[in-house]
Amino acid sequence: MRPGKTAYFLVGLFVIVAVAGLVVVLAILTGGGNTTERYHTHFSNVAGLDFGTPVFFEGFQAGQIEGIAPMAAGSRTVFRVEMSILSDLQIPRDSSVDIVQPNLLSGRALSIAAGRSETIIPPDGEIPPGDPAGLAALPGLIGAGDQLINEARVLLDEATAAMAQINYFVTHDLGAIAESYKALPDTIRGEAVTLATELQSTIETANAIVERADAFLSESNAESVNKTLANIESLTASLADSNADLVAIREDIRVITGQVRTMIADNKGDVEGTIVDLRYTMETIAERIDTLTYNMEGTSQNMYEFSRQIRLNPGLLLGGTAQSEQVGAGPDQ
């Protein structure tokens, strides 16, 4: 090999080795040298999160965020966060993942709080989201404070409006109400008289109802009611006996059905053989039916001829000759 080509070969080999070493170093630095499994979770707000954001498991850096994608959840939007976590870690089912920010200058991260469940979340499973912790919860608290201030402002406006209405009521309506209350005693007196009259009518109606109840609950009616109750008890007992008979009949039918099924199952071969023999017999009869029909037709014709001869000469039944032959014979014969 010429010196020029040897130099090019060595330079190329050095570049390849350097690139391979760089890839290995980057894989080690990013945790790519370890086997990882994919998990996911959902957040309504992913501010400060991005590809490569670290994921901690009880303080141990166990992986990183691989991707964030928005998705619709009813009338709002949530974000699906894909994470790669070391496959050596087992995450209990009741664990939760929170957005944390340890201090003011550090970036946000995800922290998995391990649960106590013995059931493990499988790979590609979902880790339930928790609430933001540390400084990551500060924007939410500020938002909640703003909402509380707005609600207090609205409540204060409503209280001011209510006080204005009370002032208007005291100033304008209270005098008219006092004037209307002057006639209240006379109104109450009239209403009391009317109420007493209606009460008297109600008492009379109640007395009439009591009298009708006494008449209804006479001794004869009570005896009829007792007989009716006795008949109902007798009918109930009869229905109970009938129900027991029906239960027994149902049990007998069930037993008979089981016996029939057992008999059919035990004689299945004989039944099938009988069907095969019957089919063979029917086929044989079908093949011979034409011959039988022809012979029956000839026999019918012979019977017809025999009966015609008997009608012409009944003496044939006694062994005589036909009438035509006796007429044609000579005197000597």
> pLDDT tens for residues 36-75?
899 999 998 888 888 989 999 988 988 999 999 999 888 8
Task: Say if residue 50 is in the same domain as residue 103.
Answer: yes
CA dist list (Å): 296 to 19, 282, 290, 308: 109, 19, 10, 18
* pLDDT, mean of residues 272-283: 81
Task: Say if residue 124 is in the same domain as residue 143.
Answer: no
Domain end (from 65, 99, 131): 131
Task: Say if residue 101 is in the same domain as residue 141.
Answer: no
Is residue 143 in a domain? yes
Task: Say if residue 138 is in the same domain as residue 56.
Answer: no
Mean pLDDT taken over the chain: 78
- Separation between Cα atoms, residue 79 and residue 70, nearest integer Å: 4
State which H helix or E strand residue 237 sits in.
Answer: helix 219-266
Q: In 3D, which of 133, 131, 40 has the Cα closest to residue 85? A: 40
Task: Say if residue 84 is in the same domain as residue 35.
Answer: yes
Report the Cα 246 to chain-centroid distance in Å. Answer: 36
**Is the pLDDT at 92 greater than 90, yes or no?**
yes
* pLDDT, mean of residues 90-110: 84
Task: Say if residue 59 is in the same domain as residue 107.
Answer: yes
**Is the pLDDT at 202 greater than 60, yes or no?**
yes
- Separation between Cα atoms, residue 66 and residue 84, nearest integer Å: 6
Task: Say if residue 153 is in the same domain as residue 126.
Answer: no
Instruction: Look at residue 85 in the predicted model and tell me its pLDDT.
Output: 92
Our count of domains for the chain comes to 3
**Is the pLDDT at 311 greater than 80, yes or no?**
no
Burial label for 79, CB within 10 Å (0-12, 13-18, 19+), is: middle
Is residue 171 in a domain? yes
Is residue 157 in a domain? yes
Q: Which of the pair, 45 or 330, is modelled with greater confidence?
A: 45
Is residue 7 in a domain? no
Q: Are 89 and 61 in contact (CB under 8 A)?
A: no
Mean pLDDT lowest among 58-67, 96-105, 163-172, 248-257 = 163-172
Task: Say if residue 118 is in the same domain as residue 144.
Answer: no
Domain that holds residue 277: 267-311
Is residue 83 in a domain? yes
Q: Are 87 and 35 in contact (CB under 8 A)?
A: yes
Give the pLDDT confidence of 210-220 residue by residue, as tens digits. Answer: 887 777 666 77
Of 70-74, 133-137, 306-310, which one has max mean pLDDT?
A: 70-74
Q: Which of the pair, 29 or 43, is modelled with greater confidence?
A: 43
- What are the structure tokens assigned to 112, written together? 């998995």
Task: Say if residue 276 is in the same domain as residue 302.
Answer: yes
Instruction: Look at residue 37 in the predicted model and tell me its pLDDT.
Output: 92
* pLDDT, mean of residues 188-206: 83
* pLDDT, mean of residues 218-241: 79
Is residue 95 in a domain? yes
* pLDDT, mean of residues 230-259: 84
Task: Say if residue 34 is in the same domain as residue 102.
Answer: yes
